[in-house]
Structure 1
Amino acid sequence: MKKLIELMRIDAGQPTALKSLDSAQLIELQTALITLGYPAGDIDGKYGAKTRNAWAEFLQDTHQTIAQDAIDSVTVAQLQASLDDAGQIQGYDFSSKAGTINAIKQECIRQGIGLKSQIAYVLATADHETNHTFKPVTEAYWLADPDTYLKQHHADYYPYYGRGYVQLTWDYNYEKYGKLVGEDLLHHPELALKPEIALFVLVHGFKTGAFTGRKISDYINAHATDFVKARYCINGQDKANEIAELAKNHLASL
């Protein structure tokens, strides 16, 4: 993520009430929190309960002593440090299936999806969604001319049809993830096929529940492993049993 610019303008002398931040500052704060996996809601520059609660959670996780509805230069510096620590690792190798599988493993760990069973399910999803190629694909990729087909049959969300290692759809999701990765996905949705972007979307969506409101930890955690119901994170129960078997296979190889 880019360096925090708007938030750096906060008065260094005393805490500032979160609700007094301007729209640009709130957008920067929301983007940063969501990038780090905190449920700050929409990136809309509006102060609300989700932004306030996500900030409070961040303060608690980073052991800050400031009031939970306030922000200052110290906490902005901590936010920047957290973003720097979580910065995208360069050097992922997407040139082969093995390289992409390893990239998914490493990105899961980087974003805080650390259980082998969780990583196995993320791998299984990418495995299934890309028809076992582990290459970013478009929705209806098996057709000779998927773009024309989707324009005719899915005009409600065209051209924001599914792309990536998992299907990113709808304009608001492209806009949201564009802000998170620093690319204009809204005007150039084809960029969602870039492996680096597709990888971030895949893992971040599982971690935060961005796709359906269900997080991978809802079904796979230290106390339970439900490879069937975990499909609710992506697409109801479509192919749930088939993907569960893929997850078992990937888990055996981890």
Structure 2
Amino acid sequence: MKKKVILDRAAFFAALRKDNSGVFSRRLSKAQVQGIEALLDSADRHAVYDMDHVAHILAEVYHETGTYMLGIKETVMPSHTDKRPSDATVKARLEKAWKAGNLPWVTTPYWRDGGFGRGPIQLTHWSNYEKVGAALGLNLRQDPDLALDPKVGADIVVVGLSKGLFTGKKLSDYEFPRDLKAISKWHPRRMVNGVDGTDDEIARYHGSFYQALMAGGYKVVDDLIAATSITASKITADKLRFDDLAVGTVTSGVLKSADGRMSVDLGANQILIDAVTPKSKWGSLIKLVLKLLGVRYV
């Protein structure tokens, strides 16, 4: 059965703005709100419902973007006001750092042909752009700046962490909150990076976002409306026919009757239910179902 996330986002954001939240220092910029909402929407879209998983997604992006919460380009620091410098600027910064010996792990300058990092969790090297792009059905090699789009960037993070596309480790490999105190080898931070000394920070951020989700009343319930969806146009009973009546289209409207028929008037979308009078047993059943779908009868 399809699930539905219940979250009072106003209460959630209010919790993040508190003095003792542990994140954001009481203020949230428009970009930070946009990034957080994109991640929440993506988690819902990709059925990542576990509250610890959602909290960890937010924690990793909080760290990786320097609290910005939207996609950035490699070399961008928290102090930089320009979060998306030109490609030429990024390449020049990386080239300078490499020649100065500050990137000892780099053997081949991957940035020279444009395969530098982009995104809320940065993709580097074209092979990773291609792998993650394939998982999302996007050509990120052809258009790497898509990783900076709020929706696409959020999907990169959510799908990447849930499927282990960054390092091979995925959210379901860990038991939360226990593994937030694990030794480095077994810490959830390994989903994004090798041992980099940030395990304790990530654990704190995770806790902060988890508490904010709790303050917002986060819970996942069965979507009963979706379960009531009537989509079979071939269903027939005493000449009753539903013409593609689906929850996706019938969310509000007016149910009208005329000439022994009933119809849902949704402006351009009018769905006829043939051969049923409003007073028949089938008509009563339909009225009940449509009432559950938010359609009123007149």
Q: Same fold (TM over 0.5)?
A: yes
The residue type equivalent to 1:252 in the other structure is Q
Task: Find out whether 1:161 has 2:116 as its counterpart.
Answer: yes
2:93 aligned counterpart, secondary structure: helix
Structure with more relative contact order (C-alpha pairs < 8 Å, separation 6 or more): 2
Amino acid at match of 2:179: D
Corresponding residue for 1:227?
180
How big is the shift at 1:137? 0.7
For 1:195 and 1:118, how far apart are their aligned partners in 2? 19
C-alpha contact (below 8 Å) 2:129/2:144 kept by paired residues: yes
1:198 and 2:175 matched? no
Match of 2:179, SS state, is: coil
Specify the alignment match of 1:71 in structure 2.
none
Partner of 1:22: none
**Which runs of 5 or more structure 2 residues have no equivalent in the other structure?**
1-28, 99-105, 182-186, 214-298
Task: Specify whether residues 118 and 182 from structure 1 end up closer, same or farther in structure 2 by C-alpha distance, changes over 3 A only.
Answer: closer
3-state SS in 2 of match to 1:167: coil
CA 168–195 in structure 1, closer or farther in 2 if over 3 Å, else same: same
Rg bigger for which structure? 2
Q: 2:36 aligns with which of 87, 96, 101?
A: 101
Letter in 1 for 2:157: L
| Distance in 2 (alpha carbons) for counterparts of 1:121 and 1:101 | 12
DSSP 3-state at the match of 1:134: coil
**What is the letter of the counterpart of residue 237 of structure 1?**
V
- 2:126 pairs with 1:171: yes
Task: Tell whether the 8 Å contact from 1:174 to 1:189 is kept in structure 2 after alignment.
Answer: yes
Q: C-alpha displacement at 1:149, in angstroms?
A: 2.1
State the Cα distance separating 1:109 from its structure 2 match.
2.7
Q: Deviations over 1:187-236 (max 9, x none)?
A: 33222212222111100011111111101111135xx5423510010102
Distance in structure 2 (CA, Å) of the matches to 1:96 and 1:186: 26
Equivalent of residue 129 in structure 1, options 33, 55, 64: 64
Q: Which residue of 2 aligns with 1:211?
A: 166
Task: Note closer, same or farther for the CA distance 1:219–1:180 as it changes in structure 2 (3 Å cut).
Answer: closer
Question: Taking every aligned residue pair, what percent have the same amino acid on both sides?
Answer: 31
SS at match of 1:227: helix
Contact 1:150 1:161 in 2 (8 A): no
How many residues in Structure 1 have an aligned counterpart in Structure 2?
A: 161
Alignment-derived partner of residue 147 in structure 1: 91
Provide structure 1 residue ranges, at least 5 long, that are not aligned to the other structure.
1-93
CA root-mean-square deviation: 2.6
TM-score by length of 1: 0.57
SS at match of 1:212: coil
